[in-house]
Amino acid sequence: MRAVRVSAGESESVRQKLLSGSALDKTRKLVKKNGFIEIPVTGSFNSDEFTFVLQEKARYYSKEKTISSILNIPESEKKLLPRGWQILGEIIIVTLNENLEHRKKEIGEALLSLYPGCKTVLLDRGIRGRMREPDREIIAGSRTETIHKENGCFFKLDAMRVMFSQGNLAEKKRMSKLGKDETVVDMFAGIGYFSIPMAVHSKPRKIISIEINPVSFVYLKENITLNKAGNIIEPIAGDCARVTPCGIADRVIMGYLDGHEYLQQGISALSPGGTLHYHEAVPEAIEQRPVERILEVSKEHGRSAQIIGLHRIKKYAPGVWHVVVDARVD
């Protein structure tokens, strides 16, 4: 089994670098040997930057541990334990049954013992406000800023202050294949959820990324630099109702689930024949509502729209779906 050998003083910085590059083997433990630290790496990783060694006796984390087996709590409470959680970089985000809130610190420490590569656990209580800010509490660890890797892209964020949904990964991958040589307007860009993958993989001519949340905007700019996309993405801070450009885009992304009031700006940004990707949270009983809204707003402003796709992304709430409508607007 291969490992990178470094001095004790540089072990943490190297471990962080390997983790952000998905090269750290999280199934094995770091080993101290002859005054050096051996950091386990995946079999495919190679670099002239490091000294590699072969470990004859690799030390593994227990694969049999579960959150239930770690916690010494009554069986009645174990039945309420979460069955899943979200991992962003080095941050674990978990939702708890309200009857387990008094165990939150114990559960946080148990999760860290399951994932030694993680540093902090956040208790999630949902999203609040117009800017969709997460309502979270630190229940283990302290640092909440991290770098998350997804689809070959790096996203720096503070998980206490910025939301990041992994449930729409398929949609982000779909967008990353579109837009080559186009001018794209990404309304409600956040930290670059759609802009970054599109810039990295499909290389549009230009992406105008608009974000009103000042915290998200700071990370949007950092992620543009982190992913070397500054020659493609132009970040703009402001309200989409006021700063969205008109008549220049081959493609517009509207990734805000309550953005129907901004449809006029999204449609106006498109050149004739451009494509709109409009997101909405919609009850199953009226799933055609976003389609009807696009057709109506287009007509009101002297444009015609042709619906070319409707995609269910994920369940947003009981009986409610996150959908994306693709429309060609002339």
CATH number at residue 113: 3.30.300.110
Nearest one of 74, 48, 66, 58 to 25, comparing CA atoms: 58
- The reply to whether 16 and 87 lie within a common domain is no
Q: Is 172 annotated as a binding residue?
A: yes
**pLDDT reported for residue 63:** 57
322 in any annotated domain: yes
Instruction: Find the CATH number of the domain harbouring 269.
Output: 3.40.50.150
Give the range of the structural domain holding residue 201, as residue numbers without chain letter: 165-329
Intervals of the chain under pLDDT 50: none
Q: Is residue 61 part of a domain?
A: no
CB 153 within 8 A of CB 224: no
Chain centroid to CA 24? 20
The encoded tokens of residue 305 equal: 């729209």
Taking CA 295 as the corner, what is the angle to CA 291 and CA 298, rounded to the nearest 5 degrees? Answer: 135
The answer to the question of residue 24 being in a domain is: yes
Residues 241 and 309 placed together within one structural domain of the fold: yes
Residue 240 lies in a domain: yes
- Nearest residue to 244 via CA among 256, 220, 262, 232: 262
Q: Which pLDDT score, from 0 to 100, does residue 62 have?
A: 60
Query: What are the Cα distances from residue 184, in Å, to 94, 213, 232, 270?
Result: 35, 20, 10, 9
Per-residue pLDDT at 56: 73
203 and 273 part of one domain: yes
Q: Which long-range contacts (CB under 8 A, 24 or more apart) does 25-30 make?
A: 25/1, 26/61, 26/115, 26/116, 26/117, 27/60, 27/61, 27/63, 28/1, 28/3, 28/55, 28/58, 28/59, 28/60, 28/61, 29/59, 29/60, 29/61, 29/116
Domain membership flag for residue 152: no
The 3-state secondary structure of 103-132, one letter per residue:
HHHHHHHHHHHHCCCCCEEEEEEEEECCCC
Residue 250: partners with Cβ closer than 8 Å, 6 or more residues away? 179, 182, 183, 184, 270, 271, 274, 275
Handedness of CA 255, 131, 127, 199 (dihedral sign): positive
First to last CA, the chain: 58
For the domain that residue 29 is a member of, what is the CATH number?
Answer: 3.30.70.2580
pTM, two decimals, is 0.78
For residues 202 and 324, state if they share a domain. yes
Do residue 124 and residue 73 come from a single domain? Answer: yes
State yes or no: 211 annotated in a binding site.
yes
- Number of structural domains (the chain) is 3
Residue 160 resides in a domain: no
How far apart are alpha carbons 44 and 2 in whole angstroms?
10
Say whether both 172 and 309 belong to one domain.
yes
**CA separation for the pair 279, 257 (Å, rounded):** 5
Tell me, yes or no, whether 241 lies in a domain: yes
- Residue 133 assigned as binding residue: no
Gyration radius of the chain over CA positions: 23
111, 143, 175 - which closes a domain: 143
Say yes or no: 106 and 198 in one domain. no
Please tell me whether residues 119 and 237 are part of one structural domain.
no
Q: Are residues 39 and 111 in the same domain?
A: no
130 and 176 both lie in a single domain: no
In terms of domains, do 206 and 276 share one? yes
User: What six digits make up the tokens of 283?
Assistant: 């009850």
Asked whether residue 243 is domain-assigned, the answer is yes
Same domain? 210 vs 316: yes
Q: How far apart are CA 197 and CA 45, in angstroms?
A: 23
